Chains A and B, each alone.
Chain A
Amino acid sequence: NAGVMQNPRHLVRRRGQEARLRCSPMKGHSHVYWYRQLPEEGLKFMVYLQKENIIDESGMPKERFSAEFPKEGPSILRIQQVVRGDSAAYFCASSPAASQETQYFGPGTRLLVL
């Protein structure tokens, strides 16, 4: 009974490069959420997706960030032209269709921008 899977667990990028973070929800879950955590801080919501649809992207920066959850395959959080301020832990959570509130988190991807 695998939980939420995220990869890579650690990602190092130089300024200006692209970062792609992947998330596979728990089996049977069709709702995916992305959060960002800065050091010593709580998690901040970024985006909520269902299959092929972005439901709420109110927490996404206006530029350089995008997310998708295709019909097949994992959800992708994409950061273009990364800057040092993008360095953080990015967590994905999922929930079953019938219970949107209880979100189960993956282990996170730690992004370091040099």
Chain B
Amino acid sequence: GESVGLHLPTLSVQEGDNSIINCAYSNSASDYFIWYKQESGKGPQFIIDIRSNMDKRQGQRVTVLLNKTVKHLSLQIAATQPGDSAVYFCAELNQAGTALIFGKGTTLSVSS
């Protein structure tokens, strides 16, 4: 079946460090992936997305890498700031194209 998971439930970094959050997915036919950030008490906030015909995509301070060979997705945050502290979810679009399948999330804690 379809499932998306994350390698680590928590990640603690110092302000200014680079953060890497990882995600493994199981459906090799998946075509579209998204990273969301969720702060306490709020809804998921879109960060960046990537399609399966790409290996890398960059945004402002964030980069998403897709390794289709090992079905692995990662989110890199440069110069992590305290405001980046949140739960980060990867999600993939299901085969029908009608729903996102979310992983369980990685809690990023940034200390100054």
A residues bordering B, Cβ < 8 Å? 4, 6, 33, 35, 40-45, 48, 55-56, 58-59, 91, 93, 100-108
If over half of B's interface residues share one DSSP class (helix, strand or loop), that class is named, otherwise mixed; here it is strand
Given contacts A43-B89, A102-B49, contact A91 B44 (CB under 8 A): yes
Cβ–Cβ contact B43 & A91, under 8 A: yes
Candidates A55, A91, A101; contact of B32 at CB < 8 Å:
A101
Given contacts A42-B89, A43-B102, A44-B102, contact A105 B43 (CB under 8 A): yes
16 inter-chain pairs at a CB distance below 8 angstroms, sorted by A residue, are: A40-B104, A41-B105, A42-B104, A42-B105, A43-B91, A43-B102, A45-B94, A56-B98, A58-B99, A59-B99, A91-B43, A101-B34, A101-B49, A105-B43, A105-B45, A105-B46
Query: Residue on B with the closest CB to A108?
Result: B43
| B window 75-112: CB within 8 A of A | 89, 91, 93-94, 96-105
Give the size range of B's interface with the partner: 20 to 34
Q: Which residues of B contact A45 (CB under 8 A)?
A: 94, 99-101
Candidates A6, A40, A43, A56; contact of B44 at CB < 8 Å:
A43
Q: How far is the CA of A42 from the CA of B34 in the complex (A)?
A: 14
Q: Which residues of A contact B97 (CB under 8 A)?
A: 100-101
